[in-house]
Amino acid sequence: MLRKEMQEGEMNSKKKNNSESFIDEIKKVPEDVVSDFQNGKSISQCIALLANCENFKGKEKSELREWVYTANSLIINEKSAKYAEENNLKNATYKIITAGNELVCKRCESLSRKKFVLMDRKAGENCPPLHLGCKCAAAIYPEW
């Protein structure tokens, strides 16, 4: 419930550049589809669930697969970042870890050379997922 209110607030207050609208799109993937995926439901079952959702009707299976994976990545990254925040790791930093293969895009590759302050993270801008199909993860360094 709280999460939905936050999303709507975010959408109203900042809907300017592409990366923000990409994150808004990702948040349209229903939480139960992602939690089914995290709880071991197969990717094809999750794709089938998502294909029935209003915002994703008519999309190709290959694209739906990317939405499921990317939504999962967003939730996983946010969980670990929130954990750090709740434990008051104010100076925590993170680095972007790419898949390390030839498919990594230039933007992710160059961002992976930097170090970011966890509190300043912005999914889609300086924190994964950075685009649909982004396979990057954030490695958090607590800096006790």
Q: Which value, in Å, is the radius of gyration of the alpha carbons in the chain? A: 15
Give the DSSP letter of residue 128.
S
Give how far Cα 98 sits from Cα of 107, 111, 124, 134, Å: 11, 9, 14, 9
Beta carbons of 142 and 84 less than 8 angstroms apart: yes
Site for Zn ion in 74-103 (CB under 5 A): none
Shortest separation between residue 114's beta carbon and Zn ion, angstroms:
13
Shortest separation between residue 32's beta carbon and Zn ion, angstroms:
25
Binding piece for Zn ion, criterion CB under 5 A, among 13-21, 48-56, 73-81, 122-130: 122-130
Q: Is 26 in the site for Zn ion (CB under 5 A)?
A: no
Decide the pairing of beta strands 115-117 and 93-97: antiparallel
From candidates 81, 118, 134, 137, binder to Zn ion by CB under 5 A: 134
Shortest separation between residue 96's beta carbon and Zn ion, angstroms:
7
Residues in contact with Zn ion by CB under 5 A are 108, 130, 134, 136
